[in-house]
């Protein structure tokens, strides 16, 4: 990995005190004993915002096993982000989950991360493509496509989900899924089974009021204004599914399940031309 790539990863991941992406990036830098940096490493790893890097569903419940066959786990020896299978050879996730494509693997068909269930398909990655306008500071255009080295075998446990046919509106019922902590107080609450949570789309005005000046038209809020239920760290890139279509990707938010701060998701419908163009340019 180049120094530039490492610094970009830190810039994106260093925005949440709870993210394992941030921890991994800082650990990598401290291991690079030959690097000569003018900026103290401790300053570079100070949180500046809150991307949802490591996988937490708060207030949800265990999913029905393999009821989310489109669910993908971005893996580097452990799950660190989510993704969603959108056709046999492409996974959609968020750009702040980027990692070296030669080291990252994609796990599909998984429910219990500690048990071999016979449904899993572990795939190598051939290419990872960020949106060219991705901004790691604002997390605008926070989207990437991952091309798998081989197409998946479609089964009852592994299958793509359709892209949206229209943009979501306030009040639309949706669900989000992911692995990771089910409470804010640490690893003791990390489940081994995929967790699910029903969340509604939040009205555009309520979303903008919660995050003044921070919401672009490529973002959508979902969740509960009274708090208590939310996606969080480690769920980054996990799909927000509404009416059988992937409408969002977990991106960022203020804390986890905090009142008046719903989760912020990538608004997938705004990226349909880019997704289509990218797939056609990389057959």
Q: Is 216 a catalytic site residue?
A: no
Residue 197, beta-bridge partner list: 176
Name which of 103, 140, 144 is nearest 124 in CA terms: 103
Burial of 187 (0-12, 13-18, 19+ CB in 10 A): exposed
Task: Give helix 3-13 / helix 20-31 axis angle, nearest 10°.
Answer: 150
Contact between residue 165 and residue 245 where contact means Cβ atoms under 8 Å apart: yes
Tokens (6 digits) for 81:
């982000």
Does residue 218 sit in helix, strand or coil? coil
Q: Which of 93, 177, 236, 251 is catalytic?
A: 236
**SS3 at position 4:** helix
Q: How many Cβ atoms from other residues are within 10 Å of residue 2's Cβ?
A: 8
Percentage helix, strand, coil, to 5, in the chain? Answer: 20, 30, 50
Q: Which of 16, 54, 140, 230 is catalytic?
A: 140
Task: Count Cβ neighbours within 10 Å for each residue of 257-277 and write b for 16 or more, e otherwise.
Answer: bbeebbbbbbbbbbbeebbee
Active-site option among 96, 142, 230, 238:
96
Asked if 140 is an active-site residue, the reply is yes
d(CA 12, CA 48): 9
- Write down how long the chain is: 283
The two counts, helices (H) then strands (E), for the chain are 5, 15
Catalytic site positions: 96, 140, 236
């Amino acid at each position: 990995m180049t120094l530039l790539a490492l610094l970009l990863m830190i810039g994106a991941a260093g925005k949440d005190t709870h993210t394992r992406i941030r921890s991994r990036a800082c650990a990598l830098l401290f291991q690079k004993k030959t690097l000569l940096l003018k900026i103290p490493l401790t300053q570079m790893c100070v949180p500046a915002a809150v991307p949802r890097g490591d996988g937490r569903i708060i207030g949800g419940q265990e999913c029905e096993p393999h009821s989310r066959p489109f669910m993908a786990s971005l893996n580097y020896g452990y799950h660190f982000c989510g993704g969603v299978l959108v056709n046999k050879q492409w996974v959609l996730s968020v750009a702040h989950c980027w990692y070296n494509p030669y080291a990252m693997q994609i796990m599909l068909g998984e429910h219990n991360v500690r048990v071999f269930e016979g449904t899993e398909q572990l795939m190598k990655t051939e290419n990872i493509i960020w949106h060219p306008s991705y901004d790691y500071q604002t997390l605008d255009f926070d989207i990437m496509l991952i091309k798998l080295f081989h197409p998946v075998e479609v089964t009852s446990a592994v299958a793509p989900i359709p892209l949206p046919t229209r943009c979501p509106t306030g009040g639309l019922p949706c669900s989000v899924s992911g692995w990771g902590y089910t409470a804010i107080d640490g690893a003791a609450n990390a489940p081994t089974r995929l967790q699910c949570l029903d969340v509604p789309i939040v009205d555009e005005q309520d979303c903008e009021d919660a995050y003044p000046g921070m919401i672009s038209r490529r973002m959508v809020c979902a969740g509960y204004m009274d708090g208590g239920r939310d996606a969080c760290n480690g769920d980054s890139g996990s799909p927000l599914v509404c009416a059988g279509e992937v409408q969002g990707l977990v991106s960022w938010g203020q804390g986890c399940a905090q009142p008046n701060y719903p989760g912020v998701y990538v608004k997938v419908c705004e990226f349909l031309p880019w997704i289509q163009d990218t797939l056609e340019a990389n057959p």
